[in-house]
Structure 1
Amino acid sequence: MHLLLPFAVLLVVAVLISERAHRTVLSTAVLFLLGGFLLGPGVTDVLQIEAGDPIVGGLAELALFSVLFTDGMRVGLADLRAAWRLPGRALALGMPLTLGITALLGHFVVGLPWLESFLLGAVLAPTDPVFAAAIVGRKEVPGRLRHMLNVESGVNDGLALPVVLALLALAGGTEASGWQLAEEIGLGIAVGVVVPYLVLRLERLPAFAAVRAHQPLVAVSIGLLVLGVCEATHANLFLGAFAAGVTVATSGPEFRVEFERFGELVTELLKLAAILVFGALITPEFLFGEIPLVGWIFAVLALVLARPLALLVAFVGARLPVREQLAAMWFGPKGFASVVYGLIVLESGIPAADQLYHLIALVIVLSIIAHSSTDVVLARQFDTDEELQEWGEQEQ
């Protein structure tokens, strides 16, 4: 069966239960993941999808570009200057420590070589609070906590990608030399900065100003132009997307506001379609026949040990209330970036590619289920008094 009909049916169901999902443990992400699993090979065989199919790579690439562009829009330089201490701790200390602890687990629990263990850690280091929407979308959750999770997730996808590419190159997973890889990364960032900057400068000229009705399309057109230029020049399109989002948020913050509703809905649709496809790749044989017990042990420890320990160290001296620390330590859901980075590893052809992909996919599946099912419960634990609602606390 074609992908469109199952996706449309699941989308209608998701929209109809969205109000209830906002108040309960129901989750849109879990709905699409479970839908893909049930419709995929080995269950009902409605969707016949394999990892090497063009739709998998193409949809994942387009969705991640959109996700990174949207993430970059959330973290303009003004936002980082206004409240950088907590996100800075999570990114500068928490993320490398999460990567390192995950690598240790990969080496000592699963038995992976060190290089592959660090590659595994790099792929699983980014977070995505979209899978824990109640935390970042509820007013009863302290503003500084929501801000920290938003900024952290907005930045760490882009920070992890060069590390993933570099480690993959060291493992022999790409034909690009070190200089060529650096050139692709640098060119991607340059395209992501220069193209939006020039377009925004042109838009401010009287002859080119966009009418009010078309202003949401300014950021969308910039994103598409960056995508096209990156494809034409072989620049790294993911870093180009992230840099473009940051540039728009910094140089044209008014367009970020216009883009927010329309652009994020488009990104959400692409992400849900990709999760549906990802769910169809996770067959019963994949989960219970191809992953040994040590793989399950690794996946559980990667969720309940790696990030909590990392942020426990990162928050030393932060004077953050214990309840907020615990929430931040738990809500490090493995997001869509990890799905795509895992597919990049799988398609790289390195000897451990299949084993790494199985471990990555298992962690993501468990993360989506665990975090998307506990966000509302935890959000309700926060008081709604003025002190917890206050935005401008010293530790921002």
Structure 2
Amino acid sequence: MIEVYILVFSFAVLAFGLISHRIERMVITAPMVFVIAGLLTGSAGYVAPEYGLGQDLVLILVELTLVLTLFTDAARINLPRHWGTVSIPARLLAIGLPLTIVAGMAGAAFLFPGLTLLEALLLAIILTPTDAGLALPIVNNRLVPVRIRNAINIESGLNDGIVFPLFVIVLAVLESEIFSISTGSILTFLLEQVGLGVLTGIFIGLAGGWLMSRAIGRGWMTPTYQRLGLVALAFITWALAGEIGGNGFIAAFTGGLFAGYVMKAMGKKVIDFAEAEGQLLILAVFFIFGIFMATLLPGMTWQYVAYAVISLTLVRMIPVKISFAGSHLRPQTGWFVGWFGPRGLASIVLLILALQQLSSDAFSRTISLAVGATVTLSVFAHGITTMPLIGRYAKAVSGMSAEAPEKEEVEEVPARSSVIFGHHKED
């Protein structure tokens, strides 16, 4: 069975690659193609229980993918260097993100009355982070003002790392209710997971970043090993944190932040790394996601579709509008940024990590269907609407005065290449 998966996935990579340049300006994106490939594979009956979402091979793949994504996204965004452009993403992360979680929890409690409030909260947390990869067509399109592109780029690069500690806490508390673990044990667990994870990330990020920076400056590292060195730093941070009792994902995110700060000129190398090594893993996750969406489709009801719709609209867009209050940004900007909060890789990985620990089969099925419906709808809805809405927003921006906050000149934050996601970078 695994051979069939490898065959279909490899064929999809080759087929998409052969026409990737030709479809750059179309509404077809790589995540769409690989989700469809997975759906077709699963619908054809090529789904074996031993290769399900709970299988160790799948878990390792998605864990490594998240580690690389957290580390490189955090390293790419050098906050001290780009401090002058963080006012909008700061609003999104400090105000919009908590409100999105609250709104998502309320929507889940309403549509799925069988869930406890804690279960509804966990579902909302899983669906809060936006996908930096799916947002690339916006971030890399020069028709969108730099300040707005930076906001979407920084938000999507940081919100998964910010959400993860909360995910760990809620999941631990939820399971403590089931297994009657003492409150003291939970607090000790959380201090170890978050505290040791952060400390490991700081140490490895600073030390590893300093070593690589010195080696690169002296010409000791070839470009290939500069990229591989970043892979090694990400994995060292993750694995070391796990060995001493900390959370490896929190460590990877923290390590990326500090490595990016130490290695001042690392931006382009991080982008190259993410293109070459990281993106293949991301596409594999979307392919696996498509396979197991095929098994979930028979249980899909209107409640899950409705939750997917409100997750991408009301739950996201209203908090964004509230967070922009007093910023003097035009209403069109609020709706534009609000809509382009796609859900993808982080939500898939958080779902799989949750399924590893949840003991309730009913809740596991509910969150699988809710997350599956939301991510699937996001992949296609955001992919299809990207270019038309960019055009409309660019027209609205052109009619704004030169003093509009959207047009403020700021330094552009580096982003990954958008080629693998099927959209061209506008000049």
Structure 1 length as normaliser, TM-score?
0.91
Question: Does residue 237 of the first structure (1) align with residue 248 of the second (2)?
Answer: yes
Runs of 4+ more than 4 Å apart: 173-176, 203-209, 383-391
Shift of 1:19: 2.3
Cα distance, 1:220 vs structure 2: 2.6
Is 1:121 equivalent to 2:124 in the alignment?
yes
Aligned equivalent of 2:204: 195
Match of 2:64 in 1: 62
What residue is the counterpart of 1:257 in the other structure?
Answer: 268
Q: Secondary structure at the match of 1:172?
A: helix
1:186 pairs with one of 185, 195, 203 = 195
Deviation at 1:46, TM superposition (A): 3.6
SS of the counterpart of 2:320?
Answer: helix
Alignment deviations for residues 154-185 of structure 1 (CA, whole Å, 9 cap, x no partner): 11101111111111112116876221122122
Q: Which residue of 2 aligns with 1:392?
A: 409
1:13 paired to 2:23: no
* Structure 1 position 302 matched with structure 2 position 311: yes
Distance change (3 Å), C-alpha of 1:229 and 1:137: same
Give the structure 2 partner of residue 25 of structure 1.
27
Cα distance per residue 1:79-123 (max 9 Å; x no partner): 452211100110011111111111110111221221111111111
Cα distance in 2 for residues equivalent to 1:94 and 1:84: 14
* Structure-to-structure mapping, 1:341-352, within 5 angstroms: 341-351=350-360, 352=363
CA distance in 1, matches of 2:122, 2:215: 49
* Separation (CA, whole Å) in 2 of partners of 1:354 and 1:206: 49
> How many residues end up aligned between the 2 structures?
391
Where do 5+ consecutive residues of structure 1 fail to align? none
Distance 1:44 1:55 in 2: 22
Among 313, 330, 346, the residue aligned to 1:321: 330
Secondary structure in structure 2 of the residue aligned to 1:177: helix
Aligned partners of 2:87, 2:249: CA distance in 1, in Å?
26
Q: For 1:155-234, list aligned pairs within 5 A.
A: 155-172=158-175, 177-203=186-212, 209=218, 210-213=220-223, 214-234=225-245
Tell me the distance in 1 between the aligned counterparts of 2:264 and 2:35: 34
How far apart are residue 198 of structure 1 and its match?
1.4
Once the two structures are overlaid, the 10-residue window that deviates more, 384-393 or 151-160, is 384-393
Contact 2:209–2:258 under 8 Å retained in 1: no
TM-score by length of 2: 0.85
Identity of aligned residues (%): 27
Note if 1:286 corresponds to 2:296: yes
Matches of 2:101 and 2:159, distance apart in 1: 11
Give me the whole-angstrom Cα distance separating, in 1, the residues matched to 2:358 and 2:349: 15
Q: For 2:149, which of 143, 146, 149 is the aligned residue?
A: 146
Give the Cα–Cα distance (whole angstroms) in 2 for the partners of residues 116 and 393 of structure 1: 41
Change (3 A) 1:190 1:73: same
User: Does structure 2 retain, via aligned residues, the 8 Å contact 1:126–1:153?
Assistant: yes
| Stretch deviating more after TM superposition (208-217 or 99-108) | 208-217
Q: Shift of the alpha carbon at 1:326? A: 1.7
Q: Give 1:391 shift.
A: 5.1
- Which of 316, 332, 342 aligns to 1:333? It is 342
CA distance 1:162–1:376, shift in 2 (3 Å): same
Contact persistence 1:216–1:255 (CA under 8 A): no
Identify the range of structure 1 (145-154 vs 112-121) with the bigger mean alpha-carbon deviation: 112-121
Give the root-mean-square deviation of aligned CA atoms.
2.5
Distance 1:157 1:76 in 2: 16
Please identify, of 158-167 and 179-188, the stretch whose mean Cα deviation from structure 2 is larger. 179-188
**Structure 2 gap ranges (5+):** 414-427
Matches within 5 A, 1:68-87: 68-87=70-89
CA displacement at 1:204 relative to structure 2: 5.4
